[in-house]
Amino acid sequence: MRTLLQKSGKNLFNSIYIEEQAYNYPVVRMVLEKYPDIPVITIRNYKDVFNRGNQCFQLQKHRQSLILAVKSSPFLYKGPEVCQDFGYSDFYYTSFLFNCIFDCEYCYLQGMYPSANVVAFVNVDEFKQEIENTLGEKKAYLAVSYDTDLIGFHNIIPYWDFLQDFFTQYSDINVEIRTKSANEVFYNEFLPAENIVVAFSLAPQEIIQKYERLTPPLSARIKAVKTAIFKGFKVRLCLDPVIINSGSEKLYEPFFRNLFMEINPDKLKDVGYGFFRMSKDFFKRIEKQKSDSQLYADQYSITDNIVSYPNELREQIMTRHLSILEEYLPKEKIFTL
Ligand code: SF4
């Protein structure tokens, strides 16, 4: 399997588009120094490129461009119901990046954006200002790697360099960085903090191989989990999305058992569990583009505009899976959706 470790320099991005107004930001200078060989195109506004009509997401995904842009408000969004809020009523997310360098077959971004190119916003201080204004006095849960993978992107733009000190000042904001990355250097480079949780998305290796193109294998992710725990980071495991098409359900029991042989469950903050699910509109859009995908050809049911497995099947499998997880973790540490 080809991973991002093999994709570097010239092969990483096809070209770099830069908004005229973005040139003065340190992030842009950093990227230009790092990738002097990638062609640069100056643009007026990122939407001129990103929102163009007739783009083919699937083709672009194999040869992404990077777009460096200045975001305008809003910088912060209220979390949607299809996502786990881990017990917080004030759940927000923010997007420093649109799109992702990984390529998961089940990813809803394929149905959400017109382009697979990665937009990286460079005005990080304005994001911080809005987070401070909106959440500064609140007890909130903030997902910062919500529809992308910030740690996976860290070697390209190290957003966390600009964020770590800022977030540690606001101990009532619980920050979640979700990742499939196995970049262990991250945990040596930064200090842990009580209010920062690294949430590792994990799945059976067969699922990773089949549906999570370009992501690191399970063994490498488990190694990164162990390093993060060893370095004192708060760690969440996200067993999400659970995929139960074509007999893959049987992969999960051995996966859970092996996982907790490798990782001491007492050292975890908590675990999230959820089935493959997606808004009906995104699903339909992706289904049209991915006519050869078994995942989108399978039978699902639709409840409240969300496509997922039929309720009865979900309940049956979840009961079985939770009974295994509860052998390792107390109920109150397992969050389901
Ligand atoms: S890692 Fe997350 S954001 Fe990136 S492609 Fe996979 S599901 Fe989408």
pLDDT, tens only, 91-143: 999 999 999 999 999 999 999 999 999 999 999 999 999 999 999 888 899 99
> Does the pLDDT at position 7 exceed 70?
no
Q: Is residue 22 part of a domain?
A: no
pLDDT of residue 5: 41
pLDDT of residue 337: 83
Segment among 8-17, 81-90, 129-138 with least mean pLDDT: 81-90
For atom 8 of ligand 1, the residue with the nearest CA is 107
Could you tell me the CATH number of the domain that includes residue 213? Answer: 3.80.30.30
Q: Is residue 93 part of a domain?
A: yes
Q: Is residue 279 part of a domain?
A: yes
Which band of pLDDT confidence, cut at 50, 70 and 90, is reported for residue 1? very low
Q: Is residue 31 part of a domain?
A: no
> Does the pLDDT at position 209 exceed 50?
yes
Compute how many other C-beta atoms are within 10 angstroms of the C-beta atom of residue 177.
25
Number of domains composing the chain: 1
Which band of pLDDT confidence, cut at 50, 70 and 90, is reported for residue 2? very low
Q: Which atom of ligand 1 has the smallest separation from the CA of 106?
A: 7
Distance CA 148, CA 307 (A): 21
235 vs 225, 252, 265, 286, 333, CA distance in Å?
A: 7, 21, 10, 32, 12
Best residue among 106, 109, 201 to mutate for probing ligand 1, ranked by most atoms within 8 Å of CB = 109
Closest CA to 17 of 103, 87, 122: 122
The whole-chain average pLDDT of the chain stands at 93
Q: Is residue 268 part of a domain?
A: yes
Q: Is residue 267 part of a domain?
A: yes
- Residues in contact with ligand 1 by the CB-under-6-Å rule are 100, 102-104, 107, 109, 147-149, 180
The alpha carbon of 145 and the centre of ligand 1 are apart by a number of angstroms equal to 10
DSSP string spanning 7-20? --GGGT-S-EEEEG
Q: Is residue 57 part of a domain?
A: no
Domain coverage including residue 266: 70-336
Closest CA to 84 of 311, 275, 329, 315: 275
Q: Which atom of ligand 1 has the smallest separation from the CA of 152?
A: 1
Which strands form 306-308's sheet, in the order they lie side by side?
277-279, 306-308, 301-303
For atom 1 of ligand 1, the residue with the nearest CA is 102
